[in-house]
Structures are given as C-alpha cells and as structure tokens.
Structure 1
Amino acid sequence: MGNDESTTDGALLARLRAGDDGAYEVLYRRHAPAVRRFAAGMPRQGIDADDVVAEVFLRVLRAVRAGHGPKDTVRTYLLTVVRRVVAEWCAARRDEPMNTDELGERVPGQRDHQAALAESELLARAFHLLPARWREVLWRTEVEGHRPSTIAGQLGLTPNATAVLAHRARRGLRQAYLRASTGAPAAGRHCLRRV
C-alpha cells in the first residue's frame, strides 16, 4: 500500500472503489478539518457543523461505492456537498414550526451575514474578470491549497514560474476587487493590467 499520507486522492479513491475501507479513513483524516472549517463558516441556522461533516462524508462514501462521486478533486467535491447539505437542511428547518424558545431568540449577525454575502459576490465578480490562467492558478493554490511547486507540471511551468503566475494573479484579483468595490466602471478581462 505504501505511505498512505503521500498517496494521491485519485489513488485513494480507486482503492475505495475497490472496497479498501482504509483508503476512506485516509481521505477523511486528510480532508475533514477543511470540510469542518468550511461548514462552520456557513450560515447554518442552528445546524451543527460536525453533523454536516458526518453527512457529507457519508454521502461521498455512498456515491463512490455506487461508482459515482469525485474522480480526483476530492476537496472541491466535498465542499460542494457541504453547500448542498446545508441548503437542504436549512430548507427542511424552515418547514418546521418554530418552538417558543426559538421565537424569543434574536437572529445574531444577520447584518454581518448580509455584508459578508455582498463581499463574496464582489469577490466572485472580480475573480471572473481575470484571465482563465490566473483563475486556474488562484483556484488551485488559494482554494484547494496546493503549493505552486506541486502544480507546476500540470500547468506546464517551472515551480518558480508558477509562483510568479500565482503572485500576479493575486495582484490582479486585488486590482479587480478594488475596481468592483469602488464602483469603477466594469472592465473587461482585456482591461486588467498584466502585472
């Protein structure tokens, strides 16, 4: 089996599809902390983040065992399932009548949530203004957490060139975000300064 900690997610998924439960344990240890942080950061209306994590990993296990599920981008897939689970559970809670304890509770941070939502929409708009290559390197390094040296070969670059590309992409995202947040006229991708 080799060193499970250095085994790729794709190899672990193949082992899991073949019935190796140990591969599931490695995937869980590797990704559960990030999934828990992501779930804890979402507005959940009283839903426990640990319950969300358990449900997410159960659904992914079932999908993989049925021949579906992620092929290699496990973390992205897991975070997508987190969004789905939270949305489903929040919708189900809205259908339940409120008890007297809930009626007396004040909704904390509603304004903060709306501000965070508006900010994330601005960031998404700025991200989509970037050239495709910048978006790819930002996604791989900032969202998926890869180091430039580990993805350099996949991008057809040297590790140093990948680090420079990531730096330029971050700078370009800051520029696009500032432009969007100050209400400056929307600039197309061709208007972003290639830093």
Structure 2
Amino acid sequence: MGSSEGAVRSSDDAVLLARLRDGDDSAFGELYRRHAPMVRRFALSMQRSGIDVDDVVAEVFLRVLRAVRSGRGPRDAVRTYLFTAVRRVLAEWAAARRDEPMTSDELGEHVPRQGDHQVAQAERELLARAFLRLPARWREVLWRTEVEGHRPSSIARQLGLTPNATAVLAHRARRGLREAYHQASDLPVGRARCLRRA
C-alpha cells in the first residue's frame, strides 16, 4: 500500500470512528468489513492452541465497539489499536484457558507400576513441599481452581479481583508451583510433566 493510499485509509477510519462515536452503528459494520480480514490474519500468525481465531476477531471488535461507545478507543491508527487488542485478548485467554487433559501416553508415563508406591509417595511429598513454598495468595487460588474445580470467574469476587485478574493469578500460581516443584526435585523442567501445563 502506498503512503497516499495509507493516508486516505487512515482518514476514512477517522471519519468512521467519528460517525460511530456519534451513534451511527453502520460505521461499525464498515470498520469491521475493512479491517476484519487483516485482524484475522494477524491473529492466525499468533495462534494459540485451543483458541479459535474467529472468536478472537469477534472479541477484538466487540472491545473496540465498547471502547468507542464509552468515549475511549482509537481516534486514528486503527490498525495499531486492533493489533494491540489481538495481543491482549490472546494473552488473557491463554492465561484463563483451563489446561488440556493429558493424553493417554502422557498419563501412562506417570501412573506408578505395582510396587512403586514409595515413588508415588515421594512425588506427593515433593508436590506438597512445593505447594507450601508458594505465597498464600497463590496457594488459595490453586486450591480453589485445581482442587475444588472452580473457574476463575466464579471465585473472582471472593478474591477481590476481576475475572481476568483471577485467571492471570491462577496462571502465575500454576507456573510458580511447577518451578517450585522442579527446584524441590532437582529435575529438569521437561521431566516433571505430572504437573498440568499452563
């Protein structure tokens, strides 16, 4: 795209954003048609496992619509704003997504054979030691999500956080538990796969 064409497009975007701020909902449809293919390509280039790209595109444009309607959001440089929104949505959703179950092959690696009860007991003790090393806030969110099975959004209010902040806290806590476990067991990070992947 030439610089003059880019300037025209940027000018057109500014006009559409101004119309949208003035309550013209058809302007949103035009913005969507103009930028959705590019946003989708960008989201695909940053693909995260288990996250649907079309859902990301829809969420990005929904956030733009909410921002503009509340008097915030982009006034120009729409493309930069949209790319930033894609990155943010992917990061939030990756942190909030529950871990995928292990495959049967992975599970088989961690099922103790008959007579390996001492090994299993030692693993449990290592995990308990690692858990107790964590900050109280991390222990609380891990217990609520991993043991009791609550989703971050359902315990956010009790923790005094937003659902997104709770999901990020749970993600950090899981990562911290893995690191503490590796330190306690002196295993390379790739070996202790019995802990769920974040």
TM-score by length of 1: 0.47
Q: Which has the higher contact order (CA 8 A, sep 6+)?
A: 2
Q: Which structure would you say has the larger Rg? A: 2
